[in-house]
A and B are shown apart, each in its own frame.
Chain A
Amino acid sequence: MPSTLGLEACSSDKEQNMAELLKVENLKTQFHTESGVVKAVDGISYYIDEREIIGLVGESGCGKSVSQLSVMQLISTPGKIVGGEVIFEGKDLLKYKTHGPEMRSVRGAKIAMIFQEPMTSLNPVLTVNQQLTEMLELHLKMSKKAARGRAIELLGMVGIPDAQNRIDDYPHQFSGGMRQRVMIAMALSCSPKILIADEPTTALDVTTQAQLLELMKDMVERLQTSLVIVTHNLGVVARYAQRIYIMYAGRIVEAGTTKDIFGKPRHPYTIGLLKCIPRLDEEEGRKLVPIKGLPPNLINMPPTCAFLPRCSYKVGRCSKEPWPPLKNLHGQHYVSCYANTEVKDK
């Protein structure tokens, strides 16, 4: 396993972490809708080190994708980033104008993103060549010819056979898995420092999923890129991520190394998630324990913990005090909960 797991328990010290690549502090993104303000991302903080793979896990609507789009400043009206800092290479990206030259030199070039739907995120009326070379010409100032050569090379790297000829095809001429490979080639074309993969394989078949995740892992290792995997699939992060953030209702409720999260889950939501998913290697006759209730509506949220109505560990404090802050348990393991889940569970 990678060496980052061995980082000492000093992670709360801000200056100490020398390999820290991106640091997000108290990021808040809201959507102003007719029925009220949706606090999609409500003050999340996380970081990613160089060459690290982190996982951002949560159900639909928990703000995991919006948080990543906020980092890239890809939030459009009625959404708005209302607070926080995104420190990348020592500079706060949120200070840059959305369409300004500084942000443009980061977006796509230094921080790249792969979206969930390979069908809809490629432009259907442009050939793969046109879409791939655009980035190279724009960010790396390559000539048309050089860009084409590089694009063919990239397609070959991500495992598209006969890249020479296929580069002039349109997206619809590729299968779903192949389109996602094109997306990966595109995202990696400018050798980004960070690759954000937003549910990269959800729309794909099981064996294709495995192929693409392995490909992404190999590529980030080769290019020394950091990878953020945004997913609802706990298995994927268990397999690939070194650290995990669990999100619920716009906040991070638990963070830690993968072994912390799966070995000693401490937030009731994390515990609930692990108990409610079927496992391939489970004992015969195991009963799933569903999390009761529904994910909350993010409009007009009460100030108390959003998981409270579904929680089976709640204590008196929970309904009186505001959402608990993340507290450090040990090392890199943080949890946002008043209840002592350890006593009841183990």
Chain B
Amino acid sequence: MSPRQDETILEARELKMYFPVTRGLLQRKVADVKAVDGVTFKIRRGETLGLVGESGCGKTTIGRCVLRLYQPTAGQILFEGEDISPLPESKMRRIRCNMSLIFQDPYSSLDPRQSAGSIVGEPLKIHQWVSSRSEYNDRVEQLFRLVGLDPSMSGRFPHEFSGGQRQRIGVARALACEPSLIVCDEPISALDVSIQAQIINLLEELQEGIKGLTYLFIAHDLSVVRHISDRVAVMYLGHIVEITRSRELYENPLHPYTKALLSAVPIADPFVEEKRERIILKGEVPTPLNPPSGCSFHPRCFMATPECSQVVPPLRDVGGDHEVACIRV
């Protein structure tokens, strides 16, 4: 288990990220895609916060806003107590040394012309983290060992590695400058079933070994998120609809969308499956270009009342580290 410290490492307050839709020769703005629409959450130092939702719900956008790869439309991002949302690029570099990213696709996220060693070592050079050649070599070697790769392979190129090994290279690169926060964006979904567990275990072991290492773990697979996360935030159409400890989320889901999402994930056990209740949602996720009024989930909700189409439900604390955005619970 990760150390439970109550210190907040990252906080998002009313974070909004709109992407303009433009049309015509003059590129007039005709609408906004509200990818993230007012999201507030905290991550505590040393914990893993899972972010789940279906494609288009804004989970990756949040990850990118946190790293300031996108300039948020509104809201604040507090990293180690400092609001980084208005910072200019020049100041961001210093902060990005402390936060990094693991990508989904280990095939396209590594430069095919760079050797594994130089991929892992590049952040060290960019952030001037090392002062000499020998220090650089030592650190690269150390990183290789840390993620379970043989340092003698550092001269090889990405295509010479398997998918799992490539993802280890990606993890080593993310760890290079000893970041305190790593955003993991679907880090295992491109891997084979038997390889996924290796990367999950690696991430868990790293967190046990490196004090204070915090993950924002973005994935669509609820069983993986439940396994790795201390707390989980469920997203739907740019909003967090429920956020709580991962065990509580599974045992006591409150939001109807969470309930449906949980019941949609089959459990690899026919004895359990026989007894499970299945909630099959109607329709599909609406476009964030024109989200439904009120609670954006109401057209698909099996608990909806007329009031739901009028009121935007705020995320409210129901006690026991459990917040939910639904007027019906």
- A→B interface (CB under 8 Å): 1, 59-60, 175, 177-178, 205-211, 214, 232-236, 238-239, 258-259, 262-263, 272-274, 276-282, 284-291, 294-295
Contacts and interface: CB of A to CB of B under 8 A. Distances in A.
Contacts of B228: 278
A150 to B, nearest CB: 25
A206 B194 contact: no
A316 to B, nearest CB: 25
Given A282-B226, A288-B197, 13 more contacts: A207-B261, A208-B284, A210-B280, A211-B281, A235-B223, A238-B267, A238-B270, A263-B270, A273-B193, A273-B194, A281-B250, A290-B198, A290-B201
B223 A59 contact: no
A290 B278 contact: no
25 contacts: A59-B194, A178-B284, A205-B55, A206-B221, A206-B264, A207-B54, A210-B280, A214-B278, A233-B266, A235-B267, A238-B268, A263-B271, A272-B194, A273-B193, A273-B194, A274-B268, A277-B196, A278-B197, A278-B200, A278-B224, A282-B223, A282-B226, A287-B201, A288-B200, A291-B197
Given A209-B264, A280-B267, A177 B284 contact: yes
A258 B227 CA distance: 24
Contacts of B224: 278
B268 A277 contact: yes
A288 B227 contact: yes
A223 B135 CA distance: 69
A291 B194 contact: yes
Given A205-B54, A205-B220, A207-B261, A279 B267 contact: yes
A207 B281 CA distance: 7
B321 interface: no
A287 B164 CA distance: 18
A289 B197 contact: yes
Nearest to B276: A239
Contacts of B273: 238-239
A177 B54 CA distance: 13
A277 B201 contact: no
Nearest to A272: B194
B266 A238 contact: yes
Interface in B188-202: 192-198, 200-201
Contacts of A207: 54, 260-261, 264, 281, 285
A280 B265 contact: yes
A314 B265 CA distance: 34
Nearest to A280: B223
Contacts of B268: 234-235, 238, 262, 274, 277, 279
A65 B272 CA distance: 28
Given A206-B54, A281-B250, A285-B1, A258 B270 contact: yes
B270 A210 contact: no
B162 interface: yes
Contacts of A259: 270-271
Given A59-B192, A288-B197, A291-B194, A210 B278 contact: yes
B284 A262 contact: no
A64 B194 CA distance: 16
Contacts of B284: 175, 177-178, 208
Contacts of B55: 205
A211 B261 contact: no
B194 A278 contact: no
B262 interface: yes
Which 10 A/B pairs are nearest by Cβ-Cβ distance? A235-B266, A278-B227, A210-B264, A276-B197, A290-B197, A234-B268, A205-B54, A239-B266, A288-B197, A291-B194
B103 to A, nearest CB: 19
Nearest to A175: B284
B164 A294 contact: yes
Contact of A290 (B194, B271, B281): B194
A166 to B, nearest CB: 14
B209 to A, nearest CB: 15
A125 to B, nearest CB: 25
B270 A262 contact: yes
A162 B129 CA distance: 61
B274 interface: yes
Interface string B236-269: 0000000000010010000000001111111111
B222 interface: yes
The residue among A60, A206, A233, A279 with the most chain B CB atoms within 10 A of its own CB is A206
Contacts of A279: 223, 227, 267-269
A174 to B, nearest CB: 10
A284 B229 CA distance: 11
A256 to B, nearest CB: 11
B269 A277 contact: no
B316 to A, nearest CB: 24
The residue among A1, A208, A210, A284 with the most chain B CB atoms within 10 A of its own CB is A210
Contacts of B266: 233, 235-236, 238-239
A274 B271 CA distance: 14
B261 A206 contact: yes
Given A177-B284, A214-B278, A294-B164, A206 B270 contact: no
Contacts of B285: 205, 207
A57 B272 CA distance: 19
Given A273-B193, A276-B194, A281 B272 contact: yes
